[in-house]
Amino acid sequence: MKMTFRWFGEKSDTIALKHIKQIPGMTGLMGFLDYKAAGEVWEKDEIAEYIGKVHAARLECEVIESVNIHEDIKMGSGKRDEYIENYKTTIRNLAECGVKVIVYNFMPVFDWLRTDLAREIPEDGSNSLYFDEAELEGMGPLDIVRKTTEESGGFSLPGWEPERLAELETTLEKYKSVSAKDLLVNFKYFLDAVIPVCEECGVKMACHPDDPAWPIFGLPRIAHSMEGFEKIIVLHDSKSHALCLCTGSLASNVNNDVVSIVRRFGEMGRVACMHIRNVKHLGHRKFRESSHLSTDGDLDMYEVVKAVFETCPDVYIRPDHGRMIWEETGRPGYGLYDRALGAAYLNGLWEAMVKEQHNETKL
């Protein structure tokens, strides 16, 4: 296991790399070039510049995330072949800079969605990302986009890139004729094109789940349950076609047994990395992001980490979103302090697993 952290780059992140390095057990980053539009080639020199800075801080950068997929690829229309060619070039460029895992998602239009980016947690006065489907009542996709952008404190949020939002209305209209089945067919078309390139250069593509884990605004969504991932994983038979299991995204849906999902795909050798965080359900399709601790949320973190330890111990893990605590301000979900606490906690659970195993083998 390698413990990693998300960092948005020098110009877009308030957190210094040296502070990330000071988190105990932190080996590297899940990196991100936040200014790249979906469909664009990630040039080698810009990747190298970003990674150079990470290395200078004595951290690794073997995972890159949010290499976003153009809507034409998901819809199977327009210039999809051109965008797929660009994606292949990006994969090669990332591989040449030492990247081993690329995290992406196949969600139409939206990446993750929340109805409040800073809802106070009454128990302790901190705040965190929050979702209540009832609050979406009467709101269209454009309203929620406006609200999220207003509340983001000027930060561009991953998955909410301005150029993607500019075309929102047209894109939503086009999706009316795309079914979940079409999405799966288009997904296969994409994988069949890019996975051979990944195999050539020793890279894994890791698909991130839908968040929240059900369809929204009538858009087709396929990556949010055990059944959904079963269908996705057979689309292309290769270890380079893998998953990034995000426990918080999956746990947003109470029907998901997250531990079983981790075990199932871990045993198949198809989990490349994990985003780990906890959620607390407050009602029907209403939840907040809690601290990582099992007793603060609805996920049993001991069982989650045990499932990883026993079925896919070589994955990259990052503490996913955190609350805002200790008066920290910054990018919603991506403060330093609570994510650092999350990393320390996950490292503690991991150490206990290692020692337990060691003691068992001595018996």
Residue 158 interacts with ligand DNO (CB under 6 A)? yes
Closer of 39 and 158 to ligand DNO (Cβ): 158
- Distance, in Å, from the CA atom of 27 to the CA atom of 89, rounded to the nearest integer, reads 27
The verdict on whether 246 is a catalytic residue reads yes
Q: Cβ atoms within 10 A of the Cβ of 354, count?
A: 12
Exactly one of 70, 119, 275, 339 binds ligand DNO (CB under 6 A); that residue is: 275
Q: How far is the CB of 129 from ligand DNO (least distance, A)?
A: 9
187 lies in the site for ligand DNO, by CB under 6 A: no
Contact 214, 254 (CB under 8 A): no
Q: Which SS3 state, helix, strand or coil, does residue 350 take?
A: helix
Is 334 among the catalytic positions? yes
Question: Is 34 one of the binding residues for ligand DNO (CB under 6 A)?
Answer: no
CB-based contact 42:90 (threshold 8 Å): yes
Mask for 220-249, x = binds ligand DNO (CB under 6 A): --------------------------x---
Of the residues 246, 273, 337, 338, only one is catalytic, namely 246
Residue 71 found at the interface with ligand DNO (CB under 6 A): no
Question: CB of 187 within 8 A of CB of 229?
Answer: no
70 counts as binding ligand DNO under rule CB under 6 A: no
Among 13, 60, 65, 161, binds ligand DNO (CB under 6 A): 65
Of the candidate spans 49-57, 81-89, 98-106, 254-262, the one that interacts with ligand DNO by CB under 6 A turns out to be: 98-106
Three-class DSSP category at 253: coil
C-alpha span between 67 and 316 (Å, rounded)? 17
- 281 included as an active-site residue: no
How many C-beta atoms lie closer than 10 Å to residue 251's C-beta?
25
**Tokens representing 180?**
């979940």
Question: Residue 251: which of 211, 217, 305 has the closest Cα?
Answer: 211
| Angstrom distance (rounded) from CA 327 to CA 323 | 11
Binding test (CB under 6 A) with ligand DNO, winner from 28, 31, 108, 159:
159
| Residues labelled catalytic | 208, 246, 275, 320-321, 334
Residues that bind ligand DNO (CB under 6 A): 65-66, 103-105, 111-112, 158-159, 208, 246, 275, 321
